[in-house]
Amino acid sequence: MPHLNQNTLGKLKPGSTKAAKQSLVTAGMPPQTPGDLISLLNWRSSRAQEPAISQVQAMANPDAPARLEPRKNSVLRFLSFNIQVGITTCAYRQYLTRGWKHLLPHEERHENLKKIAKIVSDYDLVALQEVDAGSLRSGYVNQVAYLADKAIFPYWYAQLNRDLGRFAQHGNGLLSRIKPSRLEDHKLPGMLPGRGAITMRFQFSGVEVLVILMHLSLGTRSRHLQLEYVHRLIEGEEHVVLIGDMNSHLQSLLFNSPLESTNLRPAEEVLPTYPSWQPAVALDHVLVTPGLEISEFEVLDCNISDHLPVSVSLSLSSNTDASSPRRGRMQ
């Protein structure tokens, strides 16, 4: 069947009939495409996911000013946000009562995207999880492209991890004001397919920084395989940022996982991010190597998704001692 192009820059109003028709034409898919059920069944019947990697190109937004690299001695602002494809959840029961919103379009999703665009507009790099790259439920609007357009980001990339045809185009998204020197799409290993990571390299004050945006599995076994894979990606790298929804407590990430042998560390204090209506656990994290320093760590108070976004400021560190103790005190 024709494949939805997750990297089509959408500038049409979400949810409009024109947007839906134009997105289908752009993707090379007629409004009535046979085979979507086959795509769904094929994904559901898939077994363990083998890791895969491909070098990709960031999509360019011609209406946004671009920078080859950040200003020297500047502080970078990063945000991680699991947007739950634009669905607001305010109670556990709504996973059931509002579950239909994961399959069908609704006006609230488009209003939430507008709110998210305002939030992300203040940042240099945004790591998005649980985005839709253009399907029935999103009104055939690529949510990453929409946010890049509305928040005026010059570079963006939408990673497709679960291709369910017209039902859903599920994955991660990257928004950046800095031009990547290299961008890679990684399919993470696991007992089931559907998890991925995006790696981005860029120059910052004379050094190369490696950012890994990821959304890890809920299952312990799959998450262990994924962290082993990430460990291999960062081995030998001096300036690394791991960012995203890691579906794990900090203790399990840093002391009871393949990352235990690394020198990654979080901010001074770690705050809960889930569930958004009554935060109790920290599942969304930003971890860095000693060559980078986290300041102004904040969990934003905005009930748009079932997760709260995590905001940090990053700079080059004056203390690069890998033996210094890890931080990360829970409040």
Query: Rounded mean pLDDT of 246-273?
Result: 94
Which band of pLDDT confidence, cut at 50, 70 and 90, is reported for residue 38? very low
Does 5 score more than 50 pLDDT?
no
Selected residue with higher pLDDT from 323 and 246: 246
This prediction has a pTM of 0.84
5-19, 54-68, 93-107: range with lowest mean pLDDT: 5-19
C-alpha 27/C-alpha 118 separation (Å) is 28
Evaluate if residue 20 carries a pLDDT over 60: no
Provide CB contacts within 8 A for 308, sequence distance 6+. 272, 273, 274, 276, 279, 284, 299, 300, 301, 302
CA gap 44, 170 in Å, rounded = 14
Domain 17-324 in CATH 3.60.10.10:
yes
Q: Domain locations in the chain? A: 17-324
* Average pLDDT over the chain, rounded to an integer: 85
**pLDDT tens-digit readout, 271-312:** 999 999 999 999 999 999 999 999 999 999 999 999 999 999
115: its two tokens: 């709110």
Confidence of residue 248 (pLDDT cuts 50, 70, 90): very high
